[in-house]
Amino acid sequence: MEIKVTVKPDLIGTISTILESNSFEDFDKYAVFYPDNETCRLLLEKTRWGEKPVCPFCGHDKKYDLWGGKMYKCASCRRKYHVLIGTPFENTKIPLNKWFWAIHAYCNKGILSSQLARDLHITQKSAWWIINRIRGNLKPHEIKKRLQLLYKINEDIQDQINEIIL
């Protein structure tokens, strides 16, 4: 059972950039804009697929809507899919709005798992798992950007980082 990856290669970076356009200081202010799973799911669909969902298994774009458009069935391979398949958010019970806050907090200012756990009212173990999933899906240019923000790296060290990453 092989899944074709139709996720944009920089999905985490794209979501981070969208959230970066608003300056959220804490989760409560953020929750006004992204209050529930449905709002975040629609944003994720638009970010991932644009206008038309594509089957992650065969790449076909003809589909049948199931559950009011929350799930789809491919007209070609007949498999069911949804927007979370093949993303870091797949197989998790943590709501998308909490994931998006974690992406925003981690990519823009860095955050400890213990602080993330307090902000999102989840366990520290879950927060650690979220941060590691985010870190594992960051692309090299995003890692370099984070390092520059966190440590104000001088030009000599930046050249060394470029050699390591590229």
DSSP one-letter string for 25-78: -SHHHHHHHS-SHHHHHHHHHHHHHTTS---TTT----EEEEGGGTEEEETTT-
What's residue 115's pLDDT?
Answer: 93
Phi, psi of 30 (to 5 degrees): -65, -40
Q: Which residues pair with 30 in a beta bridge?
A: none
Rounded Cα distance between 130 and 92, Å, is 10
Phi, psi of 24 (to 5 degrees): -95, 130
What's residue 3's pLDDT?
Answer: 45
Q: 152: part of which helix (H) or strand (E)?
A: none
- The per-residue pLDDT string of the chain (166 residues; one tens digit each, 9 = 90 and over) reads 444 444 445 676 677 776 666 666 777 777 777 788 888 888 888 888 888 888 989 888 898 988 887 899 999 999 999 988 888 888 889 999 899 888 888 877 778 999 999 989 999 999 999 999 988 887 766 666 655 555 554 555 556 666 766 6
Three-state SS for 81? Answer: strand
| Parallel, antiparallel or unpaired: strands 80-81 and 71-74 | antiparallel
Q: Report long-range pairs for 55-63 (Cβ below 8 Å, ≥24 apart).
A: 55/6, 55/79, 55/81, 56/3, 56/4, 56/5, 56/6, 56/7, 56/81, 56/85, 56/86, 57/2, 57/3, 57/4, 57/81, 58/4, 59/4, 59/6
Q: Which two tokens stand for residue 130?
A: 């979220």
What's residue 4's pLDDT?
Answer: 44
What's residue 117's pLDDT?
Answer: 94
Q: HSE-up of 46 (CA within 13 Å, CB side)?
A: 8
Report the predicted TM-score, pTM, of the whole model to 2 decimal places: 0.71
Three-state SS for 80? Answer: strand
